[in-house]
Amino acid sequence: MLKREKGLLIVLSGPSGVGKGTVRKALFEQEDVDFEYSISMTTRKPREGEVDGVDYFFKEREEFEQMIRDGKLLEWAEYVGNYYGTPIEYVERTLNEGKDVFLEIEVQGALQVKKSFPEGLFIFLMPPSLNELKNRILTRGTETTDLITNRMNVAKEEIEMMHAYDYVVVNDEVELACERIKSIVTAEHCKRERVEKQYKKMLEAE
């Protein structure tokens, strides 16, 4: 089997409350998954059970804005009053080592990444319905009524951006969503255009 010259950047995003974090955690618990997870940064406060450096890097607003000015973020976005972003150094280094990097980010950020890494794999995670999405946000118990309304309005706008992605996965059941994502990644690694250059180099070396 040929060693990959460069890893695949896998971007999972979708509307707030769709279960991106839940799917990502379940995916990484499976033994046959070999992705490197790139932890995002955010200025929002940790939710119950979230750990700094595991779920997110939790930063103060001033520190985050300095990283924006210094060009140290692959992408960043301000969402419902908080910043979210991805440190660029880790992503580039890991991809160049031939390893797949998995990003779980907001829709605004994913669209930024696509401009820098159009060859990446972009997966949009969808709720079974808008009612289900609202119920999931309500179940958190951490949002005010106004914030829930705001999130639902933003979610509708984000769903309209689905056309910018390569694949759509419905998160009806977490395990099924994980299997769909793994199948998509396997298929992408088998795409002719992803392996053709390596085989041409192999033939030229003969």
Q: List the chain pLDDT tens, one digit each, 206 residues.
A: 556 678 999 999 998 889 999 999 999 999 889 999 998 899 999 988 999 988 889 999 999 999 999 999 999 988 888 999 998 988 999 999 999 999 998 898 899 899 988 999 999 999 988 888 888 777 766 667 787 788 888 888 999 999 999 999 999 999 999 999 999 999 999 888 878 877 777 788 76
Domain that holds residue 151: 9-38+99-205
Tell me whether residue 143 is in a domain: yes
Of residues 54, 69, 151, the one with CA closest to residue 106: 151
Tell me whether residue 1 is in a domain: no
Phi, psi of 104 (to 5 degrees): -115, 100
Alpha-carbon distances of 53 from 43, 46, 132, rounded to whole Å: 13, 11, 30
Tell me whether residue 184 is in a domain: yes
**CA distance linking residue 118 with residue 142, whole number of Å:** 35
Tell me whether residue 57 is in a domain: no
Q: Are strands 82-87 and 41-42 parallel, antiparallel or unpaired?
A: antiparallel
Tell me whether residue 43 is in a domain: no
Tell me whether residue 86 is in a domain: no
3-state DSSP assignment of residue 200: helix
Tell me whether residue 15 is in a domain: yes
Q: CATH number of the domain at 110, please.
A: 3.40.50.300
Count of structural domains, the chain:
1
Q: Is the pTM of this model over 0.85?
A: no
**CA distance linking residue 197 with residue 2, whole number of Å:** 11
Alpha-carbon distances of 11 from 105, 106, 169, rounded to whole Å: 7, 10, 12
**CA distance linking residue 42 with residue 65, whole number of Å:** 11
Tell me whether residue 66 is in a domain: no
**CA distance linking residue 129 with residue 189, whole number of Å:** 31
